[in-house]
Chain A
Amino acid sequence: MVQVDLATLSVTEANRTMRQLAEQGHDLEVINPDARHHIGVGLVAPVKVHIRGSAGYFCAGLADGARFEVDGNAGWGLADNIYHGSVVVNGNASAIAAVAIRGAEVVVKGNLGSRAGQVMKSGTLCCGGNASFMAGYMMYGGRLIILGDSGEKVGDDLTGGEIYVGGKIQSLGSDVQQTDIGRDESDSVMEFLERYQLPFSGELKKIVNAGKKLRYKNEEARTRPIPFFTFSGTADYWNHKVQEDIFIKSQIGRYRIRGYGASRPLPHFTDLAFKHDLSAAGTDADVLDKIDLETKIGDKSGATPLSLSMPVMIAPMSFGALSKSTKVALAIASRLSRTSENTGEGGLTDDQRREADQIIMQCLGGRLGWNIHDMRRANALEIYISQGAKPGFGGQLMAKKVTKELAEIRGIPAGIDLRSPSRHPDILGADDLIIKIEEFREATDYKLPISLKLGAGRVRDDIKIALKSGADFVELDGSQGSTGASSSEVLEYVGIPTLAAIQEALDGLAEIDGSGQIPIVIMGGIKDGADVAKALALGANATAVGTAAIIAGGCISCMQCHVGTCVVGIATQDPEHEKRYNVPAEALHIHHFLENVRWQLASIVDGLGYTDFRQLGRDDLVALTPEAAEITRLPYAPEYSRKPKPFAQFKTLLTERF
């Protein structure tokens, strides 16, 4: 056993030392821990670690295989996301012990704080004392054994797994029921208690899911999809789409679900124009050689940045919402166009990793697919706070798409209407976010950039927190951004447009003298190189395309992504439908589209007389509508929206003005 002394080493130094020693097979003893955070985070060797005192937040977090023992207490997020191995705490554990564990045995001899075992997937959490409220909140699997009293709302909205309570059940949570305990189960629990020397002689009560909220009661009637362009942008109140909408609601009696983002007309980059005459743009065949579009993002705090051939990434979309084939095509296209792919909520598959050169791995509140090994093979990490299509809401994945393979990657039961939590278990304030980011940095040895994905709601406030959190960059998503499934009212009416989002972010940073201190990647309805150029000119550091990329790869915009029977094999997990998707061909289509975006962007930069996209600025832009002018404070110049025919006349107009 080798000693690691936290009176002389920082936690980061201690974790590095522990990793090296553990790789050589040494058992470890941590002295003077004094309740410091992140002890043992990311330790993935099968050694023993004895912590001689109390541990702070995320002790043994993101570990795999090690066996920890803590003499004192443990802070928030004990054993966060641990895979295999064990953690024994002789004192108490604070809130969200065993959050999102994917295996392993976690034993707390004293009491548990609130929300113990939140979103756990498998493994065992056992406590000798009492648990505070909402133990087993939204758990997807595994077992939770509480030998004392349960606290309020035990098992609230759990999907899978079992909770056993030895003492009093203060109250049951939503969608759970008490049930009989089988002889085998009881024996298995007793064997566990014996193994960890937890004395218990009473009767256990068992709590499981009651099955009332796993599925929507009424299926939505299938209609012949009325495509996007036939109903958007019209002032006609009772158009076909509106009638259809009211009719379906009258049948199902609940909110409707659909894919895509806001479809009603919203102020957008289309409502901006370049002030200067771009009629010569696009005539130079060598424009790509002249213009510098390369950019690096994410090195603010010393991590290895993403290296992008142009300020255009692929937006986060999950394997789940999309078929694996589509994700692979996006990965290939990202490699061919030398930009980055993003996992979205669905975890990282080997195929995606192999095909993409650079991949951002997204971490959500449900921690679906999130694990230390995939984190370490990603090129950047992204903490999803929310997304433009549905800011403040959790994810939805309808049962048809929750196949066995997908369920396995995410660590959840197959065949449920999956609802992911709307918030992170361990990020309830800006200070928590800082501690969480630090955990991810510890787990990946400070090598990976960490971004925050923000759905556009209260951007002015959120961006200030993002700056303070220590994140390396922000991905900001406006309400034109799409999703695989959400309530249609939320898609249309919750959140603010992309154009407003970028402006608010820039204003918020300026208010605290933070301009330029955190790169912003803007996304949500960006459809071509002109949109990209305008976003950059407004002040974004980069952009991302999601919907545009899948349309390039064959999507027909029917907006039925949630149903799971996508006719082109994109938003489906049905092998019969997926086989219609030609991966190499669609990968090339997406690549071609990205190259077109590159060419447009370069031509505009060139046409404005610049050699680097970073020279684009607000002075290059005007607003074509009063709304866009109000949002961006750009000069309102509707004359720029005149049709460019005859071209000469347009040119004269420009010459007159400047």
Chain B
Amino acid sequence: MLYGCQHRGRDSTGFALYHEATADQLMLRFLVGDGSEAKGAIDHIKEILQEYNATIVEEETIGNNYRVRVIFTGDIQAFSYALDHAAKVISVGSSLEIIKDIGDAHQVDERYHVQSSLGTHGIGHVRLATESDVKPEAAHPFWATGFADIAIVHNGQITNYWKMRRALESKDFEFRTENDSELIAVFLAERLSQGTPLEAALAQSIEELDGTFSFLVSTKDELGFAKDHLAAKPMVKYESDELVAIASEEVSLNRLFPGQTISITEPLPGTYFTWSK
């Protein structure tokens, strides 16, 4: 599907993939760079792991990522904020792994063997870097900083970004970028952590976030979308008994069914929906 959407951007590509969770285990992914820089970052990460009594189950360095599975049962928010001071955290989750880097979908797939990964659901993104430089940390999907297993991909612009961010910061949530997609992720994660169902959190996002956006959110068990009232950012959906697929354009969805005419629908402006695993 991302190949079909490549014309919208080929600066960076990312995937948020969900696997079956193992009890009391967390998969952590970091951006550590190369060579000695990577070694320093990994050493630093391990110090934090020790400090928080996280036991390493398996670890791997792939591309410029460091990926480590740990046994951890403490406060994930404090743990992940601490980790983030050691190296750039890409994702934290019992079943979530985010893979993202600069390059188009083919290049990132080749570097990280995305095709060989098995799982239940996921979201992906191709990025056209327009305001900032092309950097792996600016690629989507965004992890909801501080919250396990929540990821987001987003097309659009949140115009009340600073207002919303300050409100969340006053509740001691931290932000790692100035990207509005991270804001959406943290906004939703905060609502979910308060016990709000994803569906209701999406409804609130449409009313409270200002701007123009189409976004997808995924959690361990759910997948959802929201589209603002102006609907300036496209979104189309294919749904059958076996599969739900959502993309910016039909040309992406059609990649799943080459040569066929598929029945798709376009979510109406100001609407949202969720699916459970």
Contact = CB atoms under 8 A, between A and B. Distances in A.
Interface string B199-239: 00000000000001000000000000000000111101000
Contacts of A114: 231, 269
A627 B264 CA distance: 57
Interface string B128-142: 111111100000000
Interface stretch (A31-39, A160-168, A414-422): A31-39
From B134, B157, B260, B266, name the one whose CB has the most chain A CB atoms within 10 angstroms. B266
Contacts of B255: 34
Contact of B234 (A72, A76, A430): A76
A633 interface: no
A427 to B, nearest CB: 10
Interface in B1-23: 7-9
A7 B255 CA distance: 11
A36 B232 contact: no
A148 interface: no
B31 interface: no
B261 interface: yes
A56 B128 contact: no
A434 B251 contact: no
B250 interface: yes
Interface in A70-84: 71-73, 75-76
A92 interface: yes
Contact of A53 (B9, B233, B261, B268): B261
B7 A35 contact: no
Nearest to A430: B130
Interface string A552-571: 00000000000000000000
B233 A429 contact: yes
Interface stretch (A135-143, A341-349, A460-468): A460-468
A512 B231 contact: no
A435 interface: yes
Contacts of A388: none
Interface residues of B, number: 36
A431 B128 contact: yes
A57 interface: yes
A113 B132 CA distance: 32
Interface string B162-188: 000000000000000000000000000
Contact of A35 (B9, B128, B250, B263): B250
A465 B132 CA distance: 10
B262 interface: yes
A36 B261 CA distance: 12
B254 interface: yes
Nearest to B251: A35
A435 B7 contact: yes
B195 interface: no
Given A34-B254, A56-B250, A57-B249, A71 B266 contact: no
Interface in A125-158: 132-133
A132 B231 contact: yes
A428 interface: yes
Contact of A133 (B128, B259, B269): B269
Interface in A473-514: 511-513
Nearest to B261: A72
Contacts of A35: 249-251, 253-254
A435 B248 CA distance: 13
Contacts of A465: 130
Contacts of A7: 258-259
Contacts of A37: 7, 251
Contacts of B95: none
B250 A468 contact: no
B80 interface: no
A95 interface: yes
A507 B128 CA distance: 20
A71 B261 CA distance: 8
B94 interface: no
Interface in A57-106: 57, 71-73, 75-76, 91-92, 94-95
Nearest to B229: A133
Contacts of B157: 429
A54 B253 CA distance: 11
Contacts of A355: none
B155 interface: yes
A165 B233 CA distance: 26
Interface residues of A, number: 40
A606 interface: no
Nearest to A428: B232
A438 interface: yes
Nearest to A6: B259
Contacts of A36: 251
B234 A468 contact: no
A9 to B, nearest CB: 14
B123 to A, nearest CB: 17
A438 B258 CA distance: 23
Contact of A428 (B134, B212, B250, B260): B212
Given A428-B233, A431-B128, A54 B259 contact: no
Nearest to B156: A429
A35 B234 CA distance: 14
Contacts of A75: 234, 249-251
A465 B9 CA distance: 12
A429 B232 contact: yes
A429 B265 CA distance: 22
Contact of A54 (B7, B134, B250): B250
Nearest to A32: B259
Given A57-B249, A512-B133, A431 B155 contact: yes
Contacts of B258: 7, 32, 34
A113 B266 contact: yes
A73 B131 contact: no
B233 A511 contact: no
Interface in A20-44: 31-32, 34-37
Nearest to A130: B268
A468 B130 contact: yes
Contacts of A132: 231, 268-269
Contacts of B128: 430-431, 434, 468
From B212, B254, B264, name the one whose CB has the most chain A CB atoms within 10 angstroms. B254
Contacts of B250: 35, 54, 56, 73, 75, 94
Contact of A92 (B134, B212, B234, B266): B266
A638 B7 CA distance: 51
From B131, B133, B250, B263, name the one whose CB has the most chain A CB atoms within 10 angstroms. B250
Given A94-B266, A513-B133, A431 B8 contact: yes
B260 A53 contact: yes
Contacts of B129: 468, 512
Contacts of B249: 35, 56-57, 75
Contacts of B254: 34-35, 53-54
Interface in A320-354: none
Contact of A464 (B131, B233, B263): B131
A338 B268 CA distance: 52
Nearest to A57: B249
Contacts of B262: 54, 72
Nearest to A37: B251
Contacts of B7: 37, 434-435, 438
B234 A95 contact: yes
Contacts of A461: 130-131
Nearest to B231: A114
Contacts of A429: 155-157, 232-233
Contacts of B266: 92, 94, 111, 113
Contact of B251 (A34, A71, A431): A34
8 residue pairs, one from A and one from B, having the closest CB atoms: A35-B250, A72-B261, A35-B251, A34-B254, A431-B8, A428-B232, A35-B254, A53-B261
7 contacts: A34-B255, A35-B250, A73-B250, A91-B261, A92-B264, A92-B266, A464-B130
Given A133-B269, A461-B131, A512-B132, 7 more contacts: A32-B258, A53-B261, A54-B250, A56-B249, A94-B236, A132-B268, A468-B128
